[in-house]
Structure formats: C-alpha cells, structure tokens
C-alpha cells in the first residue's frame, strides 16, 4: 500500500511517497526559509505564496522519484492542522483536488502526531536517509518542535494520551527567540546548537521552570536569557533588544548559547525520565524539529535505560514522509477517511 503525503503547515512545502508505513520511496522538500531570514521569522503571507508556486512541482517530483504515477498510489494524506492558516489551505485544497480528480481516498493528518511517525520509517531508497529502530508499544513520545513541546503515551497506534505540554512557548520557539537576542539568524535552533559548541554550558546559571506533572514552560527561561544578555552587555532593561547582540563579545554569545541549550535539554530530560519511571514504556521516541539537536539526542539517550529512538535528522524537521507514514497506519487501522469535498483546515488542532 502506497500513500502520497503532502505537508504545507509552515514554511516547508513537502511531498513524499511511503509504502506500508515504514518504507520511504521519495521525500521532496522545498523550503521558503531563505525568504524569511530578513524578517527574523516566518512571514505567513510569504510562506503561503511560496507554497502556491512550488506545491505541484514538489508533488510531481515526489511521484517521479518514487517511480509512481497516481495509478500506483492508494491514497493521499495531507496535514490539515496545526499550522498557519494560509499555508495549510494550499496543501489541503491541492490534496482535495487531487483526491477528487484521481478518485483516491483522502486522509487528514495531525502534524504533531505525524512527527512521531517519522520514527516508524525504517527503510529507505534514499541514500542519505538512515533508518531508525522500530518503536514498540507502550511507547513514550517526546515531541519537541517550533510550535509544540509535549509528552504522549501510546498504548498502540491511535490509542494515546497526552501526558503534558508547554503552557507557554514551545522549546523550538525558545531556541529561535534566544538566537534573536544574541544576533543569530532564523531559524535559530541549528545556529544556537552550532555556537553552543564553542561555549561553556556551566558559565551561567539559568532557571529550570518547575511545572506540575508533565507540563513544560519555556518563557521564563527566554526572559532569563534576555536579562542575562542585558547584564553582560552592561545596558539597562529598556535598551532595544535588537541592538543587544552588538554589545556582546563572541565568547559571551557562545556561553549564553551553551548555557541556554543546557537548561532547555535538561528540562526535557527531567520530564522524560519522570514519565519513563512512572509508565515504564517499552520504547521512547524523540521527534520534531528540535530532535535534530545532537546534544539533546545524545544526552536524553544516555539518561534512559532503553535506547532512544529518533528519526534520521532530515526527518526531524518538517517533511511529508511522516505525513505519508501516518496516512499508511490510518489505512491499516481502518481510521476514518476525510471528505475531499469538505475537509477544512484546523490551524489550532491539538492531539
């Protein structure tokens, strides 16, 4: 069974073909990320316009790379939430149209849930994508992305509970905001990770938010970094934050990046360990854009008694392989189809 996945929830336009949930036949991603650098973050109108321009070439490329035509495809899976309204609309309207004209079943996909399914891809025809170990149930899933930070416990496919989530900023958002404070370009996460390698994670003591149960909070940490940068730069609280980085030395910036990353990672480790001890899952999956952070992968892995399962780095950030994979499992588990004449976008969809 082959599913074509389509993803357009933020600034990546992506299409992929996945067979039986775990075999990746093609994976095409066009990012408008470069167009947003000048603005320091994603501009929804620019992202939407760019999806319109590239979505059909991206889909056609994904089919060609998989050596498929629509005749060989058993269904179309599309992200309908969560995400930016204008961006989601392009993917959903394209998928609806393709489902109608090719007479294929359509499946609506929750983007956050799909991040977890990137871990189910264990084989690939694409040479630079390495497979991961297949997760087993019960499975603890840690989703760390630009829009979400949550812990989920899966008894089985489509049988899961949300244990906790961020009550304010997502961890990726904190990486991006801290990057701005110290003058690193968008997207901040990978740039913080790179600069942190030159810094000392113990140079500054930053706070770990004390949240009940399995909830998270990152906005206090972000403010603590802002105050620290102001103090180190020797400026007052009303000094424009956009000019702050010009007052900091390279060593100070590297130390701030390393200290922030250390606390952000420790926050995830603490809650994941607590959930592991309480629920004793048979596998732990780390997914979402921030899962591309190699320090987080290494440190979380060594703090757990089981081997951490994390997708190939290229499948951590937004892609359509994860959308197609979850689509395959929806078919296999007789989950409801979407109506191609009425599927709506759901920008604030939760799990």
Kindly list the residues in this chain that would bind ligand KG4 in the complex (CB under 6 A).
Answer: 10, 145-147, 172, 175-176, 187-190, 193, 288-290, 292-293, 317-318
- The one of ligand KG4, Zn ion, none whose footprint includes residue 199, by CB under 5 to 8 A per kind, is none
- Here the tokens at position 80 are 């309908």
- The one of Zn ion, ligand KG4, none whose footprint includes residue 7, by CB under 5 to 8 A per kind, is none
- The one of ligand KG4, Zn ion, none whose footprint includes residue 169, by CB under 5 to 8 A per kind, is none
Q: How far is the CB of 92 from ligand KG4 (least distance, A)?
A: 16
- The one of ligand KG4, Zn ion, none whose footprint includes residue 189, by CB under 5 to 8 A per kind, is ligand KG4
Nearer to ligand KG4, 147 or 327 (CB): 147
Please identify, among the stretches 46-54, 60-68, 215-223, 312-320, the one whose residues bind Zn ion according to the rule CB under 5 A: 312-320
Residue 65: exposed, middle, or buried by beta-carbon count in 10 A (0-12, 13-18, 19+)? middle
Q: How far is the CB of 202 from ligand KG4 (least distance, A)?
A: 20
d(CA 181, CA 231): 13
11 part of the interface to Zn ion, by CB under 5 A: no
Please identify, among the stretches 36-44, 161-169, 277-285, 311-319, the one whose residues bind Zn ion according to the rule CB under 5 A: 311-319
- The one of ligand KG4, Zn ion, none whose footprint includes residue 230, by CB under 5 to 8 A per kind, is none
- Here the tokens at position 194 are 């790179």
Q: How far is the CB of 176 from ligand KG4 (least distance, A)?
A: 5
Q: How far is the CB of 347 from Zn ion (least distance, A)?
A: 14
Q: How far is the CB of 185 from ligand KG4 (least distance, A)?
A: 11
- Here the tokens at position 309 are 């399962």
The answer to whether 196 touches 295, Cβ cutoff 8 Å, is: yes
145 part of the interface to Zn ion, by CB under 5 A: yes
Q: Count of CB atoms within 10 A of residue 348's CB?
A: 9
The residue count for binding Zn ion (CB under 5 A) is 2
Angle between helices 188-196 and 171-181 (to 10 degrees): 70
Nearest to 52 by CA among 106, 6, 89: 89
> Which residues are registered as beta bridge partners of 283?
139
d(CA 144, CA 171): 6
SS3 state at 159: strand
Full DSSP string of 86-105:
HHHHHHHHHHHHHHHHHT--
7 part of the interface to Zn ion, by CB under 5 A: no
CA 108: distance to chain centroid?
18
318 part of the interface to Zn ion, by CB under 5 A: yes
Residues that bind Zn ion (CB under 5 A): 145, 318
């Amino acid at each position: 069974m082959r599913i074509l996945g389509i993803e357009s929830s933020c600034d990546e336009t992506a299409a992929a073909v996945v067979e039986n949930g775990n075999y990746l036949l093609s994976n095409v991603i066009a990012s408008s990320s470069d167009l947003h650098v000048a603005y320091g973050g994603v501009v929804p109108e620019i992202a939407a316009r760019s999806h319109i321009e590239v979505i059909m070439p991206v889909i056609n490329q994904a089919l060609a790379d998989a050596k498929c035509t629509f005749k060989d495809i058993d269904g179309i899976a599309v992200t309908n939430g969560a995400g930016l309204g204008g961006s989601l609309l392009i993917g959903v309207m394209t998928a609806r149209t393709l489902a109608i004209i090719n007479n294929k079943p359509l499946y609506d996909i929750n983007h956050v849930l799909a991040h977890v399914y990137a871990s189910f891809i264990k084989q690939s025809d694409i040479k630079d994508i390495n497979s991961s170990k297949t997760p087993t149930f019960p499975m603890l899933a840690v989703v760390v992305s630009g829009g979400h930070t949550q812990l989920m416990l899966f008894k089985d496919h489509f049988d899961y509970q949300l244990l906790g989530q961020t009550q304010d900023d997502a961890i990726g958002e904190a990486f991006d905001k801290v990057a701005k404070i110290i003058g690193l370009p968008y997207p901040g996460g990978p740039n913080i990770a790179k600069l942190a390698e030159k810094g000392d994670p113990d140079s500054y003591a930053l706070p770990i938010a004390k949240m009940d149960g399995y909830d998270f909070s990152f906005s206090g940490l972000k403010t603590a970094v802002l105050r620290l940068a102001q103090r180190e730069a020797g400026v007052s609280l009303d000094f424009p934050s956009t000019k702050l980085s010009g007052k900091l030395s390279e060593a100070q910036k590297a130390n701030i990046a390393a200290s922030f990353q250390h606390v952000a990672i420790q926050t995830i480790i603490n809650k994941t360990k607590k959930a592991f001890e309480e629920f004793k899952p048979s596998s732990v999956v780390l997914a979402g854009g921030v899962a591309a952070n190699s320090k987080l992968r290494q440190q979380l892995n060594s703090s757990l008694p089981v081997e951490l399962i994390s997708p190939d780095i290229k499948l951590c950030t937004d892609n359509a392989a994860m959308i197609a994979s979850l689509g395959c499992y929806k078919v296999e588990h007789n989950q409801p189809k979407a109506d191609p004449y009425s599927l709506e976008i759901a920008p604030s969809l939760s799990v």
